[in-house]
Structure 1
């Protein structure tokens, strides 16, 4: 039993190491809705955040309290009032929000204070520091609705939060802000988390949400077999929001997505929507290649795009050394010009650093990823993975169920990214006719789940 464990644990731990190195010293802002706490998920989420912090990540945790405030209002015989997706905060609702925030803050601090032997918290020391880091202003009157004590973020105390994080503490923020006159305003967790992530220029904004992520295609009536879009380009996310009604509930597709888009447009490179219902979803999203929820990414930062006619010369220059040493099959200029629409590239400052082409075989519901190439100058920086992700997106959009590659040298790279080896006989008939049996290329397939 222990031998089996060793064989599974060691490769897994090694595969996680690059992500540990990548995230050390980075800043994550995590939004935890009150629904997640009400569902009893706080202990495990606290353990995972403590673990992430122990690996050198600076963490700002923003909690929500929507169901807790509603419960306080119910006990006082009051109804919860909403408009434009925000709470209308009268005097009773403000008192209820303050009571709920106080109780939740103590629960969260207690969760991070555990240190029982034989638990993930054993030996951990997590200092949780809260404070008046948010200056707020009133929402005021919108479309004739007076929002009373509901507010919006006016300013974030970046210096104060940064000093606290540099001290090694985790910053805990409740969705409250204060005016210069000392008046308290009830804010939304989502707006606070987004505003803080933008102000800090955080490396990630992560929402632990009621939904599993974002699906571009709506669910089929007969069943939930439609996969989550694990990576959503910013432009595509904006188009999706434009096609949806204004979100009112946290379960509405655009509810969290609108904040992810806002953060990405303001310089936060990665925004994530992951389900709090899945145990360990934070760890899965941060330290596993494919993650578990949806990541919104501004591709202008990546320079990741489909190729055009002007890119033929750059692609030829990139792949020529690999053709010469036999890693790639030789392609002439005419072939690349003909197939240029099939290519995806990564470009930095006018130079193409990575490319791949997708050749679909619709009758077999699969497609070939060919000519995957990464410049030696940028190897190890994730350009190959970016191209692979985009090829997977393009394949899914075509309705393909898998992609395959033929390779003689780089089989381990593909195995680490979810491909499995099959016999050449597996190939679609049209591709099998072109298979070079002398080259003895190995065939690897990845299902697009």
Structure 2
């Protein structure tokens, strides 16, 4: 039985289309914590990565292996040692890390090779390339602690990685690097992913982690996840937190996100690997599911340009169809585009309104105020209203008015008062549709 119905699938798929277009050809560095693989999340995660690649996204995958190395050491009866949040990699730990990395690479490549019918991997052909892309140096001795074979990324072979992902393959990086003399160093997944994202100037750095993201209140473990953090706010938060030593510490992944954004990566994300489909939800929905750190707010309130005509038409069309808005032809929007104010998020128009001045009457009409159902009740309508009021004030006008058939109470709550249609400026009164019987509401501008 077909459980996907056109009346739900088609609108959903169309709503995803702007993100598909926006990210085609972009580069993502995605890091999966070893804990996620140990929790059995690898197969579904690889399926989601294959979907991203099918949508034209260039991928570098970095895997972690903390629990796998720990398991190898326990099996050998060798104790683990940590300091400053890093593993002290002695000779047995280095051997355990090499064994764990080899096993995980085998499992990941096998997961990308699956192609069972009736699964997301059916008909997928994903080539995985790994190699000695990383040059490392030793951590050395810190506060009297010798980290031995633990290392830090010194250089990323960005040219070869770029050439490989441009050819359509997925690059797989293990947390290992080598010195020019051939010495191996155990690295951290976070360092590898962050350094690689910076070297590639990737469009996104994504951590699939043990934590759901950054909570709005650090004092309340049940508070909501902050879905978007401006870089400046993330830096302030990081400065207020204790030095993170464990993956579950709030600043553990955040410090890497901040570093990446400081050094040219547009967006960095912290997502929970425990949530099935978290990667797809973060990339292809408006609010996502985890925390995103950006150099500046992705949401922009601005005046419209000719490039926004298509987005405005797509936004208002459902409201025209159900009679909430009067139908507007594309040519009229193109002609009047300078009158429009829009809210966009990540290149997608989520709200708009137009302002038509009647200077002889000292007023202006605000028309086509529209907010996408995806983001309603988040205050975007008020933000657009305030921006339109500012535009009207800058023209020296004393009021704005609207015509509405269904949203009268929304406007009354925001200072509009109903008036008789005869109040309208003469030029607008001649175009008033008496059959539609729209309510006229006016708001004085202070």
**TM norm structure 1:** 0.73
Shift of 1:427: 5.6
In angstroms, what is the RMSD of aligned CA positions? 3.4
Shift of 1:265: 0.4
Q: Distance in 2 between matches of 1:113 and 1:47?
A: 10
Match of residue 256 from structure 1: 253
Shift of 1:417: 2.8
Match of residue 70 from structure 1: 70
Q: Distance in 1 between matches of 2:129 and 2:186?
A: 20
Is contact 1:215–1:227 with CA below 8 Å preserved after alignment? Answer: yes
Alignment of 1:4-403 (within 5 A): 5-220=5-220, 224=222, 226-299=223-296, 373-374=341-342, 382=347
Shift of 1:381: 7.0
* Unaligned segments of structure 1, at least 5 residues: 306-314, 320-326, 328-353, 355-370, 388-406, 443-449
SS of 2:148's partner is coil
Q: Distance in 1 between matches of 2:267 and 2:176?
A: 25
- Cα deviation, 1:134-191, whole Å, max 9, x if unaligned, reads 0000000001110000000000001110111111100000000000000000000000
Match of residue 375 from structure 2: 417
Is contact 1:89–1:149 with CA below 8 Å preserved after alignment? Answer: yes
- Cα deviation, 1:249-308, whole Å, max 9, x if unaligned, reads 1011100000000000000000001110000000000011111001100018x6969xxx
Is contact 1:213–1:274 with CA below 8 Å preserved after alignment? Answer: yes
SS of 2:372's partner is helix
Change (3 A) 1:85 1:270: same
- Structure of greater Rg: 2
- Cα deviation, 1:218-271, whole Å, max 9, x if unaligned, reads 3547xx2x2111110000000000001110110111000000000000000000
Shift of 1:383: 7.4
Change (3 A) 1:128 1:7: same
Change (3 A) 1:171 1:416: same
SS of 1:236's partner is helix
Is contact 1:374–1:383 with CA below 8 Å preserved after alignment? Answer: no
Q: Distance in 2 between matches of 1:289 and 1:15?
A: 10
- Cα deviation, 1:108-147, whole Å, max 9, x if unaligned, reads 0000000001100000001001000000000000011100
Shift of 1:374: 2.8
Shift of 1:423: 7.3
Change (3 A) 1:266 1:385: farther
Is contact 1:372–1:384 with CA below 8 Å preserved after alignment? Answer: no
Change (3 A) 1:103 1:435: farther
Change (3 A) 1:30 1:115: same
Q: Distance in 2 between matches of 1:54 and 1:269?
A: 22
Is contact 2:350–2:372 with CA below 8 Å preserved after alignment? Answer: no
Change (3 A) 1:231 1:424: same
Q: Distance in 1 between matches of 2:192 and 2:414?
A: 55
Is contact 1:35–1:65 with CA below 8 Å preserved after alignment? Answer: yes
Change (3 A) 1:410 1:434: closer
Q: Distance in 1 between matches of 2:11 and 2:376?
A: 14
Q: Distance in 2 between matches of 1:414 and 1:386?
A: 6
Q: Distance in 1 between matches of 2:65 and 2:199?
A: 23
SS of 2:132's partner is coil
Match of residue 395 from structure 2: none
Q: Distance in 1 between matches of 2:197 and 2:418?
A: 52
Q: Distance in 2 between matches of 1:280 and 1:117?
A: 20
Q: Distance in 2 between matches of 1:219 and 1:424?
A: 40
Shift of 1:80: 1.4
Match of residue 321 from structure 2: none
Change (3 A) 1:251 1:385: farther
